[in-house]
Amino acid sequence: MAPPDTASKGLFEVEKFSFDFEDVKRNTAGALLRSDGFSLDAGSIYSLIGANMSGKSTLLKLITGRIGDRRHPIDVQLGRRIFTLPRDYYALRVAGVRASHQNDTLFPELSILENILLGADGRKSRSALTQSLKKEINTLINGVEKSEEFHPAWKIDPRESLSTLSGGGRAIVRLLRTALFGNSVLLLDEPTVHLDPQNRKLFFSILHRLSPRSGAIVLVSHGIEDHQMFRYIFNDRPYGGFSLEKGVIMGLPEDFVDSVCVPPS
């Protein structure tokens, strides 16, 4: 992530803000999340790090409008469009800014395709989306199955029930639901939790295939291995990031950047 700089003009700009968690959770009064503003550049990838409970997930929810305080709105700019959050949450989603969180709901009783369609926000008719997505998903899966990272447990038939999938397969569905409609900015909150190293590599390979070069991606993960793999797979794109320390958004520590430069084992 570019260093906080209100003069820069990236793909996605977040204006200066200060947020009191008391506005959302009354039992955490006094805990603040604040920033002088920052930007995400088109075609770049970013790491977001911080200790447990430092506010990483909350930050992603704030800058997409999933949570917020209407008395103290946050302005973000995507290209030339300005969105006031949380009021413009839905409009920002339709514009292609998407976040995927660990606790996002999947529905085992629905098909895989129906679960993915839940991310569409009605921009096309359901039948048109279904036909388009079938082709796109099948093309993607055919390509992935030919890759050296492919594991049979990840095989996906969009017609099958979600209940037939393993944890790794469900991680792919969650990624597809976010990435297929997040063509501007993708914010991924611990997307590879509970995946083994082989499946993490495959996950990031699929993410690389899905994400447009014109977009930006932010990865939240506690594991340095995830950030190493993220940068290794996306070595064709500029890399940056930031950290959360005592509720303040800061640049990445130099030792972390040095560690991420090491290829994954």
State the residue for tokens 């969180």: 101
Neighbours of 111 (CB within 10 A): 17
Top pLDDT among 188 and 197 is at: 188
Top pLDDT among 127 and 201 is at: 201
Closest CA to 98 of 222, 16, 212, 265: 212
Average pLDDT rounded to a whole number, residues 188-216: 87
Residue 199: per-residue pLDDT: 81
Q: Kindly state the percentage of the chain with pLDDT values over 70.
A: 83
pTM of the model: 0.87
* All domains in the chain, ordered by first residue: 12-260 (3.40.50.300)
Residue 149: per-residue pLDDT: 59
Top pLDDT among 52 and 133 is at: 52
pLDDT digits (tens, 9 = 90+) for 68-106: 988 889 999 999 999 999 999 999 998 999 999 877 889
75, 54 Cβ separation under 8 angstroms: no
Average pLDDT rounded to a whole number, residues 157-181: 84
pLDDT score of 29 more than 60: no
Top pLDDT among 5 and 81 is at: 81
pLDDT digits (tens, 9 = 90+) for 221-264: 988 999 999 999 999 999 999 999 988 999 999 999 999 988 88
Residue 237: per-residue pLDDT: 95
Residue 229: per-residue pLDDT: 94
CA–CA distance, 40 with 115 (Å, rounded to integer) = 29
Burial of 206 (0-12, 13-18, 19+ CB in 10 A): buried
What band does 16 get if pLDDT is binned at 50, 70 and 90? Answer: very high
